[in-house]
Structure 1
Amino acid sequence: MSRDTRAAVRRLSDAVHDSALDAWRGTGDPSTLSELSRAHERVSAAYWRGAYEELSKLVSQVLLEGRARHAHATGHERERLGSLLASTYQFASSAALLLGQRDLSLSALTSARSMAEDSGDEVLSALLASTLSWIHLRSARVPRAVAVAEQAALRIEPCFSRADRPQLLAYGRLMISAAVAASRQGDAVSADDHLSQAHAAAARLGGDEAMYGTHFGPTAASTEAVGIAVALGNHGRALQLASRTQLPPAMPKLARNRYKLDVALAQCSAGMHDRAGDTLIEVGLDAPEWVRHQALPGVIGQRIAKVSTARVRSISEAIGVPLVA
């Protein structure tokens, strides 16, 4: 972790805990709802770029000033602030988890759930369950990760003929979470079943959409299918799916690079070590700080090292990450 990223983690931690303790001590009035909404949009953009220093500063503003305003707000403004704060806590939780700070991630998600319940936003509450499932997955609590996603999906399961778009987005995202977690425990039947539901929700949406900074649609369903095939050991199928997958220019950087790591792992398993190395270099150059906190580059590096240690050294030098001991 670089010095700037360590500072960002500390700023995230201060923002999450100080806001929960109502510790804003700014001068004058906190930012307006409109100003906080614009800051939240920048939070989302910074997260998906992997710009953690910028993200931590924006999260601090939204959480500290937003909680100060929320304490005295009423009616519609209070509901809107509650949703905005919950989503910002969710971004803080996800960023903390990516940076290896599990306890901070859980603290942020606890505050997010409280704010979402206060706002009465059922879609946002469902999306928070997707983040909780991811925390359990990263903590090697795979059965719990599956259960959390499945239970939340049941609570918001849509009637496809008349479901509104936010409901479809949340349900599809939860089905992806359940499918990914099921694949990690080798349950191909459940993974395929959940993935088919995600594809159905994506088809009903008809295009990629984002809500509260969560992205879902045909692109997410297709790219996640590749990762699920890799996790189940179906590397040939993963490469076949990847050959038919088109990445739109608007796809968030982190989602694009996470998908490429799955492709690189499938390429390695198929003996395509040079192509896997090229893919890994693409990811490392595109998201240098993010890639430091991912496990797959090391796995890919170890496999390439069995063929050529010189190649692994050149990849490590190119992306600035040691891939083998």
Structure 2
Amino acid sequence: MSDWSDLTTGKRIKHLRGSDLTQQGLADATGLSLALVQKAEQDRGELSVGSLLKLAHALNTDVAVILGQQAPRRGMSQDARTAVRRLSDAVHDSALGEWEGVGEPSTFAELSAVHDRVCDTYWRGQYGELSELVARVLLEGSTRYAQATGYERERLGSILASTYQFASSAAILLGQRDLALSALTSARHLAADSGDAVLAALLESTLSWIHLRSAKVPRAVAVAERAALRIEPSFSKSSRPQLLAYGRLMISAAVAASRRGDIPSADDYLSQAHAAAARLGRDEAVYGTHFGPTAANTEAVGIAVALGNYGKALKLASHTELPRAMPKLARNRYKLDVALAQCAVGLHDQAADTLVEVGLDAPEWVKHQALPGVIGKRLAKVSTARVRRISDVIGVSLLA
């Protein structure tokens, strides 16, 4: 266990605040009360996910860092630092056109196959392998793109844009917001050049998520809503990719609205997502983005949890089936929502079991998530010994 994870949450907040920012200054920057900031640094009371997001944004860090699951960048694991550096080099060098390979870059068909592996690796939460694959597509693909014309150039542009999107998503999970935005900027330029409206819409869904992770909730809602209006389908005659992109954007808007407690808006957006999912009739994926009835149902559980309606969340979960083909990360993100709801209604044994399931299924990914720490703190009120055992089993510090 690292020195950082040995600190209490309050001490971590105080350390991140430093001597240049007063408690009042932190309160002003977050929009939280001075009393709440003082209590947080004194480890008195629980911090909501919303408050944690605001603190992370004001302190220019990630929620996982505040909770001790992930150290500040200088204290990141060697594997995580390597993945971040490789992603950063690939994103920036490809944008600058600096491939130093020997011979010809990979063909379109080869790059397309590697892109498929990028999708699969991202959804398995393997960031080291992902960074290697992303680097190959971006560096060689950018060189090939500069030489290509016509249809091949359009298709390469879409593959590159999608790969930048995965790089962006991985970067934000690793706490690298600036890198995430840089990758997404390149993705948006390529999507615009390729004229791919569906891909452009899916990129806005990622931007909404980045804003949400940065506690810019109103902006997260606005980005998703504007993009959805641009691609809003006619449900009687619309392409399936268009329905998928619209549904995913409605989910993004619903999730963001739920984080600010806007129940009417969250319900309205979620209703639109369910309508798009029903029209699709089955789960599908476009450019590695998944949507369909399963996503609409599982996201509804997470939205209910965010709104504090834990009974509704568990009722929805009891009627939700997870298909075997569901991406690993999506499945485990949903299970964390279920575990939080179980914990909130006193089903502590079930919550603990669910948390262990997630940790064993996605050990690398779970280290970069905030909810395990939130769940662990609540379980510790019942049994700190059990939480220590869970921490040992899943390799994540859950106790401050």
TM-score normalised by L of structure 1:
0.99
Instruction: Name 1:58's counterpart in structure 2.
Output: 133
Q: How does 1:190-269 map to 2 (within 5 A)?
A: 190-269=265-344
Query: Which structure 1 residue ranges, 4+ long, deviate > 4 Å from structure 2?
Result: none
Which whole-Å CA distance do the structure 1 matches of 2:360 and 2:204 have between them? 32
Which whole-Å CA distance do the structure 1 matches of 2:333 and 2:127 have between them? 17
Instruction: Name 2:349's counterpart in structure 1.
Output: 274
Q: Given residue 137 of structure 1, which amino acid in structure 2 is its aligned partner?
A: L
1:68 to 136, 143, 147: 143
Unaligned runs of 5+ in 1: none
Q: Given residue 27 of structure 1, which amino acid in structure 2 is its aligned partner?
A: V
Which whole-Å CA distance do the structure 2 matches of 1:292 and 1:52 have between them? 12
Which whole-Å CA distance do the structure 2 matches of 1:102 and 1:290 have between them? 17
2:245 to 146, 152, 170: 170
CA deviation after TM superposition for structure 1 residue 2, in Å: 3.0
Q: How does 1:108-147 map to 2 (within 5 A)?
A: 108-147=183-222
Which whole-Å CA distance do the structure 1 matches of 2:78 and 2:333 have between them? 24
Q: Given residue 249 of structure 2, which amino acid in structure 1 is its aligned partner?
A: L
CA deviation after TM superposition for structure 1 residue 5, in Å: 2.2
Deviation by residue 1:7-37 (Cα, 9 ceiling, x = unmatched): 1111011000000000001111111110000
Q: Aligned pair 1:291/2:366, yes or no? A: yes
Instruction: Name 1:102's counterpart in structure 2.
Output: 177
Unaligned runs of 5+ in 2: 1-75
Which whole-Å CA distance do the structure 2 matches of 1:258 and 1:311 have between them? 22
Instruction: Name 1:307's counterpart in structure 2.
Output: 382
Q: Aligned pair 1:324/2:395, yes or no? A: no
Which whole-Å CA distance do the structure 2 matches of 1:319 and 1:77 have between them? 45
2:263 to 172, 188, 193: 188
TM-score normalised by L of structure 2:
0.81
Deviation by residue 1:103-126 (Cα, 9 ceiling, x = unmatched): 110000000001101111000000
Q: What RMSD over aligned residues (CA atoms) do the two structures have, in Å?
A: 0.6
Which whole-Å CA distance do the structure 2 matches of 1:5 and 1:105 have between them? 15
Aligned pair count? 325
Deviation by residue 1:206-253 (Cα, 9 ceiling, x = unmatched): 100000000000000000000000000000000000000000000000
Which whole-Å CA distance do the structure 2 matches of 1:310 and 1:61 have between them? 45
Which whole-Å CA distance do the structure 1 matches of 2:138 and 2:396 have between them? 33
Q: Aligned pair 1:79/2:158, yes or no? A: no
Q: Aligned pair 1:24/2:99, yes or no? A: yes
Q: Given residue 102 of structure 2, which amino acid in structure 1 is its aligned partner?
A: T
CA deviation after TM superposition for structure 1 residue 73, in Å: 1.0
Which whole-Å CA distance do the structure 2 matches of 1:266 and 1:287 have between them? 20
Q: Given residue 283 of structure 1, which amino acid in structure 2 is its aligned partner?
A: V
1:40 to 115, 119, 124: 115
Instruction: Name 2:163's counterpart in structure 1.
Output: 88
1:150 to 205, 209, 225: 225
Which whole-Å CA distance do the structure 1 matches of 2:80 and 2:284 have between them? 29
Paired-residue identity, %: 79
Of structures 1 and 2, the larger Rg is shown by 2
Which whole-Å CA distance do the structure 2 matches of 1:238 and 1:6 have between them? 36
CA deviation after TM superposition for structure 1 residue 54, in Å: 1.0
The higher relative CO (CA closer than 8 Å, separation ≥ 6) is in 2
Q: Given residue 209 of structure 2, which amino acid in structure 1 is its aligned partner?
A: W
